[in-house]
């Protein structure tokens, strides 16, 4: 039977592992994803606090009221102040989390009045077409040759998402952001990529045989490089 110090050591190892795993969560590469990440941290802190209180009370009850004899401890049927307290606290906590969630969703879904670029994203079995209507440029991929979505970094980009056949999902893990592509509907949203870089994207809605191969790449570049890329694409077309 493990001693008290051994139990403490095991719990310390589990706590350190949990904190380490929490630190491995991806850092959002977009302003919208940063909002989602902050909301996730808030929920994590709230859950940790509730868990600490619950397990602390359980441990205290086990130690404080452990059986010392065969006699039953004092019994009571109700304690109205205590019952009101442990009913009120969860309600207040849920309301607070609801308010923060609503505010985060409003920030994430807010559209810029003047986006720096607009891209039409069309999902189909089993790849993507990225069209830049203002520049007359279109990039289409296949399962064997995933397309690349090139965007200017640090600016608000409007993406207009749709599907030509079944439901797909536009998902970039590093953005902490996902939106469904639904046939016959358009889903508009803005993204602001914080820094230049390359990010992997995929379809996150099972859509058929080659769903696992329905990938794409997002490459965020400085504005000058983005303009040069558009000019090269126009010349190639």
> What is the band of 227 on the pLDDT scale with cuts at 50, 70, 90?
very high
Sign of the torsion angle spanned by Cα atoms 63, 65, 66, 69: positive
Share of the chain above pLDDT 90, in %: 56
Distance from C-alpha of 229 to C-alpha of 235, rounded to nearest angstrom: 10
H or E element: which one contains 233?
helix 223-236
Q: What is the pLDDT of residue 2?
A: 54
Range 202-219 average pLDDT: 93
Q: What is the pLDDT of residue 72?
A: 76
The model's confidence at residue 63, banded by pLDDT at 50, 70 and 90, is confident
User: Phi and psi for 109 in degrees, rounded to 5?
Assistant: -85, -5
Structure tokens at 167: 């439901």
CA 109 to chain centre: 14
Q: What is the mean pLDDT of residues 134-147?
A: 92
Q: How many whole angstroms from its chain centre is CA 223?
A: 27
What pLDDT sits at residue 16? 67
Cα(4)–Cα(26) distance, rounded to whole angstroms?
36
pLDDT in tens, 1-41: 455 667 667 767 776 666 665 555 667 889 999 999 889 88
């Amino acid at each position: 039977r493990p001693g008290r110090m051994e139990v403490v050591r095991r719990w310390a190892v589990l706590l350190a592992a949990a904190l380490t795993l929490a630190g491995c969560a991806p850092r959002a590469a977009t302003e919208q994803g940063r909002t989602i990440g902050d909301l996730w941290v808030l929920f994590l802190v709230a859950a940790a606090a509730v868990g600490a209180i619950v397990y602390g009370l359980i441990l205290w009850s086990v130690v404080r009221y452990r059986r010392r004899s065969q006699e039953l401890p004092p019994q009571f049927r109700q304690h109205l102040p205590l019952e009101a307290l442990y009913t009120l606290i969860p309600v207040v906590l849920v309301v607070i989390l609801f308010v923060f969630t609503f505010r985060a969703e409003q920030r994430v879904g807010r559209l810029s009045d003047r986006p720096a670029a607009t891209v039409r994203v069309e999902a189909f079995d089993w790849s993507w077409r990225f069209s830049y209507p203002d520049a007359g440029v279109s990039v289409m991929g296949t399962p064997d040759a995933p397309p690349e979505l090139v965007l200017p970094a640090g600016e608000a980009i409007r993406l207009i998402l749709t599907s030509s056949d079944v439901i797909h999902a536009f998902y970039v893990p590093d953005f902490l952001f996902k939106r469904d592509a639904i046939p016959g509907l358009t889903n508009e949203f803005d993204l602001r990529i914080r820094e230049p870089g390359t990010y992997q994207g995929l379809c996150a809605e099972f859509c058929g045989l080659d769903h696992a191969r329905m990938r794409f790449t997002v490459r965020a570049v400085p504005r000058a490089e983005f303009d040069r890329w558009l000019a090269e694409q126009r010349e190639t077309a």
